[in-house]
Amino acid sequence: MSWGPDLLIYPFLFIAIYFETFLLVTFLSAPARARRKRRISNSTPRVAIIVPCYNEERTVAATVKSLLALDYPREKLTVVLVDDGSTDSTPKVMAHFKEIPQVTIIRKENGGKHTALNAGIRAVPNAELIGCLDADSFVEPDALREVVACFAEPEVMATTAAMSVHEPKTIFERVQHAEYIFGITVRHILSTINGLYVTPGPFSLYRATVFEQLGGFIAAHQTEDMEMALRMQRAHMVIENAPRARVYTKVPRTLPKLLTQRTRWTSGFLRNVIFSYRDLIANPRHGALGLVVLPFALLSFASGVLLFGTAIFLFGQQTAHMISVTSGIPLSYTLAPRLHFGWFYLPISGLLLLSGSILLITMTFMIIGKRMSHTPGRLIPNVLVYLLLYGFVSPLWLFRAMADTVTGTHRTWR
Amino acid sequence: MSLLTRNAVLALGITLLIIGTVTYAVHYMDQQRLADITAIEARLSTDTLSLETQFSLLENAPCENLSEGTSFSKELSDLGDRLSFAEGRLGSNDPQVVQLKKEYVLLEIRDYLLMQKLSKTCAVKPVTVLYFYSNAGDCSACDRAGYALSYLRQTYPHLRVYSFDYNLDLGALKTLVAVEKVKDTLPAFVIQGKLSYGFTSLTKLEAAFPKSAFATSTATSTVGTN
């Protein structure tokens, strides 16, 4: 083995394998098994679901219809549609639902998603559980009962759902589909050790007392769902997960839009964790979140930046060397394939085998996620696209988010 | 022990087991590769000795055995490729690689000497190149020179290229260096007995060869480990 920049990779491979193994061990532990056996709830507390909307004319109707189709007593479920100053025909689409007793419509000036959520919270003073559903997401009819079941435990203050991509068609939608399915398993596992640090917009529910105790949502660098979860964690509140509560969400269809969304998420994570919630990191009082989850999340960000930077450097170095060595030699010789066959020349290295182990565990989590949540659709083709593309595209938003955080740049939502 | 601590310790144990297994598997494959090279070198050494013994018994060159020499050279070429691959994986300072490289260089020198004898008495005039390089980072043109020689060898199959790591600590190689009067200005070439230094372009290197070197032929070649 030669000493070079590629050796930087090994510590990160160790950390990645360790974290994935930790997740696997936790997945097999008794508390996780007990959560997977949790039965659907017959309990029917008063629930309000807030749908914040800003220019969602194309999807909001389907979102509301999926909420109205929830298997839940009508008198116990309120749907609050908050139009955050849309400039398209969102108000008209919302108006189609104004006659439905369950639906409350609020119109306000544009102030950002957090203000829309807070307006919705203020409108439902009698709700016991308050949830949100982004206006580009749709729930399965049994999703609410799955989520409500988690609140049978009195210490549970919020519950997240199992998100997946709504009808993935483009290459980047397929990449995200595999990623979201992976996220279903990870979210389930992290909830076992109260390690969740995001309560995503698509169908996270909170006890109403959370907002009474901690206050409403704040802008939080355009990641209000992450900030709320971190605030709850700081207050030692328990965030659960319902892995069979299926919610489907629309995701960016193209690379530029995906880049915009992920830059927002990643820079939001960096700003929230480093600037506002640094005290949680490596803090034993916050258990797995402080000691394992947040440190690993920061390390995985650093490793993404560092490994991609190293890969670019090595690729540039090798390319320059190859151009230098082959200059003056006929291209017919340089480009001719020279393959060696037989076991002797198998390119098996520690790097390859360790990376393979990580991918194998990742794929295992994806298969588990799909089966556990009963998410429909084909997974394997999307996993293959994910394996081919994700490693190349994710560093783009990591670098961009790092640059934005360092320079203090703030971008628009979309 | 809390669930978190238990899982963390268990995960560490499994991680170390995975890494240990991978390390062992890679080490095992590398050892098998080196054993493969050792076996080829032992076989080639026996073949060389056999050819040299035939030479002595007949008190003349066994010209009819030139076809054996052809397959021998192909094997030596394959050995060079394998050694180069192993050196790339384990590094040029690995003691086992260095030892195998020394044995390979000895085989190259013996093949070179044998070819010299055969060319004097048999109807064959191979064009030989002794190529001296360095892997110590003090020869910026060596990679380019090695690549150009690989191209020439493939394009003109009857060229016989013998590559030597100038810094290899081997008595026979030092003697060859002394006999050919090769200084440490690398890369250095001895083409048909004529010494030259440096590499600037393929065209200039080709100019150092006799025209007969680029005639079509079916003879064979030998490769080095640069």
| Domain edges within chain B | 3-214
Confidence band of B220 (pLDDT split at 50, 70, 90): very low
- How far is residue A404 from each of residues A221, A230, A258, A306, A348, measured CA to CA in Å? 11, 21, 16, 17, 39
B194-197 vs A47-53, strand pairing mode: unpaired
Instruction: Supply the pLDDT for residue A1.
Output: 47
Q: Which of A252-266, B13-27, B209-223 has the lowest mean pLDDT?
A: B209-223
**What single DSSP character describes residue B188?**
E
What is the C-alpha end-to-end distance of chain A, expressed in Å? 46
Instruction: Supply the pLDDT for residue B222.
Output: 43
Contact yes or no for B89 and A22 at CB 8 A: no
**Nearest neighbour of A350 by CB, restricted to B10, B26, B90:** B26
Contact yes or no for B201 and A354 at CB 8 A: no
**A2 Cβ under 8 Å from any chain B Cβ:** yes
**Structure tokens belonging to residue A343:** 């076991």
**What single DSSP character describes residue A203?**
S
What residues of A are in contact with residue B8 (Cβ under 8 Å)? 22, 292
Instruction: Supply the pLDDT for residue A161.
Output: 97
* Burial classification of residue A279, based on how many CB atoms lie within 10 Å of its CB (0-12 exposed, 13-18 middle, 19 or more buried): exposed
pLDDT score of B61 more than 90? no
Instruction: Supply the pLDDT for residue A411.
Output: 75
Instruction: Supply the pLDDT for residue B219.
Output: 41
Measured between alpha carbons, how far is A363 from A354 in angstroms, rounded to an integer? 14
Contact yes or no for A17 and B19 at CB 8 A: yes
Q: Are A157 and A237 in contact (CB under 8 A)?
A: yes
**A348 Cβ under 8 Å from any chain B Cβ:** yes
Q: How many CB atoms lie within 10 A of CB B2?
A: 10
Instruction: Supply the pLDDT for residue A37.
Output: 93
Q: Tell the CATH superfamily of the B3-214 domain.
A: Glutaredoxin (3.40.30.10)
What residues of A are in contact with residue B14 (Cβ under 8 Å)? 21, 24-25
What residues of B are in contact with residue A287 (Cβ under 8 Å)? 4
Contact yes or no for B7 and A22 at CB 8 A: yes
**Nearest neighbour of A26 by CB, restricted to B7, B22, B151:** B7
pLDDT score of B221 more than 50? no
- Contacts by residues A85-89 (CB-CB < 8 Å, ≥ 24 positions apart): A85/A54, A85/A109, A85/A110, A85/A111, A86/A53, A86/A54, A86/A55, A86/A56, A86/A57, A86/A110, A87/A55, A88/A55, A88/A57, A89/A57
Measured between alpha carbons, how far is A34 from A240 in angstroms, rounded to an integer? 13
- Contacts by residues A60-66 (CB-CB < 8 Å, ≥ 24 positions apart): A60/A90, A60/A93, A60/A94, A60/A135, A61/A93, A61/A96, A62/A138, A63/A133, A63/A134, A63/A135, A63/A136, A63/A137, A63/A138, A64/A94, A64/A97, A64/A103, A66/A138, A66/A139, A66/A140
Half-sphere exposure of A259 (CA within 13 A, CB side): 11
Q: Quick one: residue A348, left, alpha or beta (phi over 0 = left, psi -120 to 50 = alpha)?
A: beta
Q: Are B25 and A353 in contact (CB under 8 A)?
A: yes
Q: Pick the more confident residue, A379 or B72.
A: A379
**B195 Cβ under 8 Å from any chain A Cβ:** no
**Structure tokens belonging to residue B149:** 């020689």
Q: What is the H or E stretch that residue A117 is in?
A: helix A113-122
Length of chain A: 414
pLDDT score of B218 more than 60? no
Measured between alpha carbons, how far is B117 from B110 in angstroms, rounded to an integer? 11
Sign of CA dihedral A230, A235, A236, A237: negative
**A335 Cβ under 8 Å from any chain B Cβ:** no
**A28 Cβ under 8 Å from any chain B Cβ:** no
Measured between alpha carbons, how far is B54 from A336 in angstroms, rounded to an integer? 40
pLDDT average, residue stretch B186-210: 91
Domain spans of chain A? 17-37+153-295
What residues of B are in contact with residue A327 (Cβ under 8 Å)? 144
Full 3-state SS string of A219-265: CHHHCHHHHHHHHHHHCCCEEEEEEEEEEEECCCCCHHHHHHHHHHH
Instruction: Supply the pLDDT for residue B225.
Output: 45
Contact yes or no for A193 and B3 at CB 8 A: yes
Q: What is the H or E stretch that residue A78 is in?
A: strand A77-84
**Structure tokens belonging to residue A344:** 């002797």
Q: How many CB atoms lie within 10 A of CB A236?
A: 12
Q: Comparing C-alpha atoms, which of B210, B216, B225 is closest to residue B162?
A: B225
Distance to chain A for B75, nearest Cα, Å: 14
- How far is residue B75 from each of residues B35, B79, B110, B151, B167, measured CA to CA in Å? 16, 6, 14, 19, 25
Q: Are A359 and A391 in contact (CB under 8 A)?
A: no
**What single DSSP character describes residue A302?**
H
Residues B127-167 have pLDDT tens digits of: 889 999 998 888 989 999 999 999 998 888 778 899 999 99
Q: Which residue's structure tokens are 């960000």?
A: A301
The three-class DSSP label of residue A189 is helix
Measured between alpha carbons, how far is B172 from B163 in angstroms, rounded to an integer? 14
Instruction: Supply the pLDDT for residue A137.
Output: 95
**Structure tokens belonging to residue A313:** 């450097």
Contact yes or no for B148 and A328 at CB 8 A: yes
Q: Pick the more confident residue, A301 or B77.
A: A301
Instruction: Supply the pLDDT for residue A406.
Output: 92
Measured between alpha carbons, how far is A23 from B8 in angstroms, rounded to an integer? 9
**Nearest neighbour of B7 by CB, restricted to A29, A348, A353:** A29
**B74 Cβ under 8 Å from any chain A Cβ:** no
Confidence band of B213 (pLDDT split at 50, 70, 90): low
Main-chain dihedrals φ then ψ at residue A376, nearest 5 degrees:
-75, 170
**B81 Cβ under 8 Å from any chain A Cβ:** yes
- How far is residue A333 from each of residues A1, A284, A319, B142, measured CA to CA in Å? 29, 61, 17, 19
Contact yes or no for A321 and B143 at CB 8 A: yes
**Nearest neighbour of B36 by CB, restricted to A21, A29, A344:** A344
B159-165 vs A204-207, strand pairing mode: unpaired
B188-191 vs B194-197, strand pairing mode: antiparallel
Distance to chain A for B28, nearest Cα, Å: 11
Q: Comparing C-alpha atoms, which of A206, A200, A193 is closest to residue A151?
A: A206
- Mean pLDDT, each 10-residue run in order, chain A (414 residues): 67 94 97 94 94 95 97 96 96 95 95 96 96 96 97 97 94 96 97 96 97 94 93 97 96 94 94 95 95 94 90 91 91 82 85 93 96 92 94 93 90 68
Instruction: Supply the pLDDT for residue A140.
Output: 97
Q: Which residues of A215-231 are buried (b: 16+ CB within 10 A; e: fewer)?
A: ebbeebbbbbbbbbbbb
Cross-strand pairs, A29: none
Q: Which residue's structure tokens are 């064959």?
A: B124
Contact yes or no for A354 and B19 at CB 8 A: yes
Sign of CA dihedral B98, B104, B107, B109: negative
Instruction: Supply the pLDDT for residue B217.
Output: 44
Full 3-state SS string of B109-146: HHHHHHHHHHHHHCCCCCEEEEEEECCCCCCCCHHHHH
Q: Are B109 and B173 in contact (CB under 8 A)?
A: yes
Instruction: Supply the pLDDT for residue A112.
Output: 92
Measured between alpha carbons, how far is A81 from A116 in angstroms, rounded to an integer? 9
* Burial classification of residue B36, based on how many CB atoms lie within 10 Å of its CB (0-12 exposed, 13-18 middle, 19 or more buried): middle
pLDDT score of B68 more than 70? no
Contact yes or no for B18 and A21 at CB 8 A: yes
When scoring B1, B2, B4 by the number of chain A Cβ atoms within 10 A, the one with the most, hence best to mutate, is B4
**What single DSSP character describes residue A343?**
G
